[in-house]
């Protein structure tokens, strides 16, 4: 896996999957640290490489009155503080070309949201920072077509690329995971990640608030490890019902360790 250049990433020799985990968006410094500290403690104990994730701003909310963040600089500074104090790598989303250079000053991995994975200038801007780039597969694209997103970043001089599966639209208000996409995207010689919480969204609800099916988190995750996913992406929170974004499909922080133990058992059985 092309993760060895990510600063402060640990346990790459453990033969484990890696984990990208954190809250959907920076709400407060206290909540972010609570999540990061708990996840770090579990992954250290189990020997799982860990990248902390939080969006400093949510740019694609359904409604105008939805929470989008606490301010770009403030959110990025909190993510940077977590990385430095806990000695762990960090990841955040970017949405425009200008955000790439800004976010790259604070985090180790730039993530391209699924809806933006075909935006050529955004991919080039992310590539030119030299940071690792995690591209989420659009809900409207085939796994095979993600080759072209990878090519855009590589041809811009950056080979530090990851791809993330996050489900495919099934009708208007549901998603389905086609696990054939994991080995298909691995043909690009990049790590492939399963986003287990966003794959359980029920988008486009008439209330303007995305729903979810968190009771299936373990099912999606276990299947992904069984078919050989290199990494797992999930959003977690100490109180998902109070989370300011995507709480309906989050994993409760209290359940994180058990899920990781179960996934490691499957990993050991299939490698």
In a domain, 6, yes or no: no
- % helix / strand / coil in the chain, to the nearest 5? 40, 20, 40
Token pair 């690792």 in the structure block, residue: 132
Give the residue, 1 or 148, on which the prediction is more confident.
148
Confidence (pLDDT) at 171:
80
Q: Under DSSP, is residue 178 helix (H, G, I), strand (E, B) or coil?
A: coil
Band of residue 211 on the pLDDT scale cut at 50, 70, 90? low
Asked whether 248 and 22 are in contact (CB, 8 A), the reply is no
Q: Determine contact, residues 138/118, Cβ cutoff 8 Å.
A: yes
What CATH number is attached to the domain comprising 155?
3.20.20.70
Pick the more confident residue, 93 or 246.
93
Q: Which domain holds residue 135?
A: 18-270
Say if CB 96 and CB 155 are below 8 A apart.
no
Instruction: Give CA–CA dist 268/260, Å, rounded.
Output: 12
- Residue of 106, 162, 163 whose CA lies nearest to 129: 106
Q: Which of 133-142, 151-160, 195-204 has the lowest mean pLDDT?
A: 195-204
Q: Against a cut of 0.75, is the pTM above it? A: yes
76-93 per-position pLDDT tens digit: 999 999 999 999 999 999
Dump pLDDT digits (tens) for 90-100: 999 999 999 99
More confident call, 202 vs 164: 164
Q: Tell whether 10 is covered by a domain.
A: no
CA nearest to 201, candidates 168, 244, 163, 236: 168
- Residue 205 contacts residue 212 (beta carbons within 8 Å): no
39 falls within a domain: yes
Question: Smallest Cα–Cα separation from 196: which of 171, 174, 172, 177?
Answer: 177
Residue 190 lies in a domain: yes
Number of domains in the chain: 1
Instruction: State residue 64's pLDDT score.
Output: 56
């Amino acid at each position: 896996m092309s993760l060895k250049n990510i600063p402060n990433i640990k346990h790459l020799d453990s033969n484990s999957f890696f984990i990208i985990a954190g809250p959907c968006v920076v709400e407060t410094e206290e909540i972010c640290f609570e999540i990061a500290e708990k996840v770090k403690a579990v992954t250290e104990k189990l020997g799982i490489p860990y990248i902390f994730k939080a969006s400093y701003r949510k740019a694609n909310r359904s409604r105008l009155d939805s929470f989008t963040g606490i301010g770009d600089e403030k959110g990025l500074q909190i993510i940077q503080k977590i990385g430095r104090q806990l000695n762990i790598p960090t990841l955040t989303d970017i949405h425009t070309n200008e955000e790439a250079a800004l976010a790259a000053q604070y985090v180790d991995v730039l993530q391209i949201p699924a809806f933006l994975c075909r935006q050529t200038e955004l991919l080039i801007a992310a590539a030119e920072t030299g940071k690792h780039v995690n591209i989420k597969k659009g809900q409207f694209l085939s796994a095979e077509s993600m080759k072209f997103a990878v090519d855009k970043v590589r041809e811009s001089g950056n080979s530090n690329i990851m791809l993330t599966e996050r489900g495919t639209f099934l009708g208007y208000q549901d998603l389905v995971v086609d696990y054939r996409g994991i080995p298909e995207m691995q043909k690009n010689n990049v790590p492939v990640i399963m986003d287990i919480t966003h794959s359980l969204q029920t988008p486009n609800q008439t209330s303007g608030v995305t729903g979810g099916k968190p009771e299936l988190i373990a099912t999606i995750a276990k299947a992904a490890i069984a078919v050989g996913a290199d990494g797992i992406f999930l959003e977690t929170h100490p109180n998902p019902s109070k989370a300011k974004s995507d709480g309906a499909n989050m994993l409760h922080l209290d359940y994180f360790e058990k899920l990781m133990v179960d996934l490691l058992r499957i990993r050991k059985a299939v490698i």
